[in-house]
Amino acid sequence: MGTLAGWVRIGEIPAYRAQPETNGPLPIVLVVQEIFGVHPHIQEICRRFAALGYLAIAPELYARQGDVAGMTDHNEIREKVVSRVPDAQVMGDLDAAVAWGEAGGAGDVSRLALTGFCWGGRIAWLYAAHSSRLKAAVAWYGRVESAATPLQPRSPLDIAGELRCPVLGLYGGKDAGIPVDSVQRMRAAAAKAEIVIYPEAGHGFFADYRPSYNPDAATDGWKRLLDWFERYGAA
């Protein structure tokens, strides 16, 4: 069985989707981008899920605010694009992606999961507090504490007691941008979460196109993700 993959339009924004060539209905997984957008690494993750029988959808969640395809500097992306993306907009666009997956008949929203990386790791926590349909979420090295802004008023730690589904957090013990103390505060506050810290991994340890890639942590994290989805009815 082959894979059907490529770009679609969901409302006002593009999204990359991948699924096996079958009528379904298939479990749905929302794949939330790194700070660099829905680039080839995120697209490959979607195809990886498709090979396992999922309908994977990765919306371009800050397409309205700007195109980051040619940007490589984190600070430039944050200043010019990410800081202008309202959390409420992101939640609405993810809801729209779920509705799109359901409306086409290929997706089974009773088996809905989400995973996010880097910038998307923070979103994974927020969406788990927002959505009543989500069965399970996995946050890869997403920031859990940040200063409030008008567009991004709450951090994952602020909503730790409001999670509506189980969340698995995967973090690196050598992540220079997300201190272990911060992750431990999230662990203590989120009763519906399980957090794994890989002592020798840094930020971006799943990103096999970057020097930060840690194959041992990446392999273990992926296995834990699949087990998490199955355990909570999202597979």
Give the chain's residues under pLDDT 50.
Answer: none
Q: Tell me what percent of the residues of the chain surpass a pLDDT of 90.
A: 90
Residue 75 has a pLDDT of: 85
Rounded to 10 degrees, the C-alpha dihedral 101/193/34/206 comes to: -110
| pTM confidence score | 0.97
Q: Which amino acid is at 142?
A: G
Rounded CA gap, 33 and 45, in Å?
A: 10
Q: Which of 223, 172, 17, 226 is nearest to 101 (CA)?
A: 17
Stretch (H or E) spanning 8:
strand 3-10
- Would residue 95 show up in a list of annotated catalytic residues for this protein? no
Residue carrying the six token digits 């409302």: 11
Say which DSSP state 39 is in.
Answer: -
Catalytic residue (choose from 93, 130, 165, 175): 175
Residues 47-104: tens digit of each pLDDT: 999 999 999 999 999 999 988 888 888 888 889 999 999 999 999 999 999 999 999 7
Q: Is there a catalytic annotation at residue 165?
A: no
CATH 3.40.50.1780 fits 3-231, yes or no: no
As a whole number of angstroms, the distance between CA 98 and CA 108 comes to: 9
Q: Which of 46, 87, 118, 165 is catalytic?
A: 118
Question: Whole-angstrom Cα distance, residue 37 to residue 186?
Answer: 26
pLDDT at residue 1, rounded to an integer? 65
Sign of CA dihedral 47, 51, 52, 55: positive
Q: Can 130 be counted among the known catalytic residues?
A: no
Among the options 46, 87, 93, 203, which is catalytic?
A: 203
Q: Where are the domains of the chain?
A: 3-231
Q: How many CB atoms lie within 10 A of CB 113?
A: 27
Task: Give the position of tokens 């519906």.
Answer: 192
